Amino acid sequence: MQFNKLDPLLHSELRLAVMSILLSVESAEFVFIKEKTGATAGNLSVQIDKLSQANYIEVTKSFKGKKPLTTCKITPVGIKAFEAYVNNLKGYIDN
């Protein structure tokens, strides 16, 4: 019985939640992701940076009026990584 390695970047509860949210929308604002995950702004910011550095998500910073606006969008690389993670996890369950 061979178990495929789980992506350590996605094996974090918060990063997995962020990826799951972004899979179901075209893009999402930081505040929306923060509300959905219940994470603190600081922790969420760190996890978004990690996902962005891996090219799993694309982060766009702009302004809404005078307020800063951070928008996140999953990338094709991120979709592929997420699908591989889910398939590998299924392998653990099915064995």
49, amino acid identity: D
Average pLDDT value for the chain: 95
Q: For residue range 32-48, what is the model confidence (pLDDT) as tens digits?
A: 999 999 999 999 999 99
Q: What is the DSSP code string of 18-47? A: HHHHHHTSS-EEHHHHHHHHT--HHHHHHH
Nearest to 41 by CA among 77, 14, 22: 14
Separation of alpha carbons 38 and 19, rounded Å: 15
H/E stretch holding 94 reads helix 76-94
Residue 93 has a pLDDT of 87
1: pLDDT strictly greater than 70: no
Residue 85 has a pLDDT of 95
Q: For residue range 67-78, what is the model confidence (pLDDT) as tens digits?
A: 999 999 999 999
In a domain, 58, yes or no: yes
Per the structure, how many domains does the chain have?
1
Residue 10 near residue 23 (C-beta atoms within 8 A): no
Question: Looking at residue 38, which CATH number applies to its domain?
Answer: 1.10.10.10
pTM above 0.95, yes or no: no
In a domain, 63, yes or no: yes
Which residues constitute the domain of residue 19? 13-90
In a domain, 40, yes or no: yes
